[in-house]
Amino acid sequence: MTTLTIQTPDDWHLHFRDGDMLTETVAATARCFQRGIVMPNLVPPVTDATMVLAYKARILAARPEDSTFEPLMTLFLTNQTTREQIIEAKSAGIVAAKMYPAGATTNSAAAVSQLEALYPVFETMQEQGMLLLVHGEVTDSHIDIFDREKVFIDQKLAHIVKQFPGLKVVFEHITTADAAQFVSEASTNVAATITPQHLLLNRNDLLVGGVRPHNFCLPVLKRSTHQEALRKVVQTGSAKFFLGTDSAPHAKEAKENACGCAGCYSAWSAIELYTHVFEELDALDKLEGFASHHGADFYGLPRNEGTITLVREDWVIPEEIILPNGKPIVPFFAGQTVHWKVKTA
């Protein structure tokens, strides 16, 4: 096969950041994705409808002139979030609320510290038909970082799903066989996104031969057995799993320092990287469902009408991209050869 045409895909989990970085990040995503679920962990986080809509306006202003890309906005949950804010957000067109455990990842210090205290908010979300997006890790200091996703499932997520059976939950950027099994066995109201880095890499790619900061993301890369479990679950074509890049840009200097930031910037190569993986798995016939159908169906949104075409052509992901402020950023898989490329007019 030398060409592959699929319905235009969507990215169901990404970070644009803010300010002048938007002209880089929005264009990178809009080149091949029609819609994107935009994460709300800015500084300060976007915690109410007014802030979310203002952020959406800044994203729309940064779109390329000929782009019809649609940002799908989310609300940042805190222990101060009220039922009324959920109702207001839903009426403003905000499709989901994001639950970060406080301190779990970038710009999450103001997030949820008492998860059970949010149950009244989850009840309102269930009533309103607003999705709950979950960063699924505990943050207890005594729990090994490689075990935090599994512990979150056992201690937190299983109880939420049982308590609110009508609440649609997306377990974001899953990294373990435990998460894949949990989602597979849960009700049809539970789904998950999977990133390119967790399909392509494991913790050896982070630690062997020295620490590789540009492969550092949260949740952190796991052992190869977990990577293989994720690859197997996408290979099945299950509608419970769909594309979410977790593309998360940081300037090179913010990654390469004594306390490097977590995140992989994959937007400029994301659909090509997924195609690369699905070809390795002899599952190119499953790519369209994963990239273009399952997410839209789960969110209750129409599938996109257009198509994109990928051609089998080797190309090398650049070593660096220059941000609008002149600082370099190292894209995910920098310097590596990918075998598919989006066909341009």
Residues 6+ away with beta carbon under 8 Å from 261: 106, 216, 250, 254, 255
Domain containing residue 239: CATH number? 3.20.20.140
Please state the pTM of the whole predicted model: 0.97
Q: What span, in angstroms and rounded, lies between the C-alpha atoms of 334 and 319?
A: 5
Tokens describing residue 314: 């080797």
Annotated binding site: 13, 15-17, 41, 98, 135, 173, 218, 246, 250, 262
- The pLDDT value recorded for residue 104 is 77
Phi-psi region of 236 (alpha: psi -120 to 50; beta: other; left: phi over 0): alpha
Domain, as residue range, for 104 = 3-342
- Please return the burial class of 127, using the count of CB atoms within 10 Å of its CB with bins 0-12, 13-18 and 19+: middle
Annotated binding site for substrate: 15-17, 41, 135, 218, 250, 262
Q: Provide the domain count of the chain.
A: 1
Q: What span, in angstroms and rounded, lies between the C-alpha atoms of 104 and 90?
A: 26
Angle between helices 83-91 and 49-61 (to 10 degrees): 30
Annotated catalytic residue, options 246, 282, 285, 314: 246
Angle between helices 83-91 and 119-128 (to 10 degrees): 30
- The pLDDT value recorded for residue 345 is 65
Phi, psi values for residue 63, rounded to 5°? -65, 145
**Sites in the chain below the pLDDT cut of 50:** none
Residue among 37, 47, 44 nearest 82 (CA) = 47
At residue 266's C-alpha, the angle toward residues 262 and 269, to 5°, is 165
Is 48 designated active site?
A: no
Annotated binding site for Zn(2+): 13, 15, 98, 135, 173, 246
